[in-house]
Structure 1
Amino acid sequence: MSKRVVYAPEVAIPVKAYSQAIDTGSLIFCSGQLAYDAQNDVAIAGSAAEQTEFLMENIKAVLAAAGLQLQDIVKTTIYLTDMTDFVSVNEVYASYFDTEPPARSTIGVSALAKGAKVEIEVIASRN
């Protein structure tokens, strides 16, 4: 199996321990995205819904760097620091998938990096 690192310059530059995404040829594994503004080097404050909208745009950018779109996502995992945000995050998330949304898990966690309220990782397919 070959693999290629995917890099979208407009999304936060990852630390040395991980890549934005890995392309295996048929699958793209995107690392968890936070609502982080790479241009201004600042985490986005705001509600979980606002953070979700920002990070979904980051996911779109990483997928575009791999030549894919949101419609190519087959699985997502959402991490929430407060499960009472589920409904508002779900509304924003659902707005990105008109038809055939990907399989998904949502997991409550005690904390996320940079004080984020939401993190989303995705797997996309070229098929």
Structure 2
Amino acid sequence: MIEYLNPPEIGDYTPVGLSSGTATETFVYAAGLAMDPATMKRRADATTIADETRICLDNIATILADAGLGLGDIVKTTCYLRDDAHRGEFIEAYKSAFGAGPYPARSTFVLGIASDLRVQIEAVAVRADER
């Protein structure tokens, strides 16, 4: 069974064809954006790369919580940055969210991202009973 996760506190992206997360019996997939769903622009509180990264990971944590999971259940992230100039700021904010680790496997790409976003993070988590 597939469950679509769209926590109301993150906002409704279904009008533009997006779901914040998807859960199966084994995996939960979540996407973190610092986007205001009303304007489809970067949230006003995402002033720095660190802010934007924190918001992305907070949104992922909210999505995972809907499936009974947390950041510690993430096994893989794919991170997208608009430019390489802020990679260090991104990495520090990313590491801060996970504390002392262990850290999930991560791929980081520099490329164009929708709207005026500078950071996007996708996460894959595994349900504890499937480990």
**Residue 47 of structure 2 corresponds to which residue in structure 1?**
46
Q: Distance in 2 between matches of 1:19 and 1:108?
A: 23
Distance 1:125 1:4, change over 3 A: same
Q: Distance in 2 between matches of 1:80 and 1:41?
A: 18
Measured after TM superposition, the shift of residue 18 of structure 1 is 2.8
Whichever residue aligns with residue 26 of structure 2, its letter is S
Using the size of structure 2 for normalisation, the TM-score is: 0.85
**Residue 91 of structure 2 corresponds to which residue in structure 1?**
90
**Residue 108 of structure 2 corresponds to which residue in structure 1?**
106
User: What's the secondary structure of 2:108's corresponding residue?
Assistant: strand
**Residue 120 of structure 1 corresponds to which residue in structure 2?**
121
**Residue 19 of structure 1 corresponds to which residue in structure 2?**
19
Alpha-carbon RMSD across the aligned residues, in angstroms, is 1.9
Specify every segment of 5 or more residues in structure 2 that has no aligned partner in the other structure, as ranges: none
Measured after TM superposition, the shift of residue 12 of structure 1 is 2.5
Residue 78 of structure 1 contacts residue 106 of structure 1 at CA under 8 Å; is this kept in 2? yes
Give the % identical residues.
Answer: 34
User: What's the secondary structure of 1:123's corresponding residue?
Assistant: strand
Question: CA deviation digits over 1:26-72, x for unaligned, max 9?
Answer: 100113x2112459976224121111111211111111111100000
Specify every segment of 5 or more residues in structure 1 that has no aligned partner in the other structure, as ranges: none
Q: Does 1:7 align with 2:6?
A: yes
Distance 1:113 1:55, change over 3 A: same
Residue 10 of structure 1 contacts residue 38 of structure 1 at CA under 8 Å; is this kept in 2? no
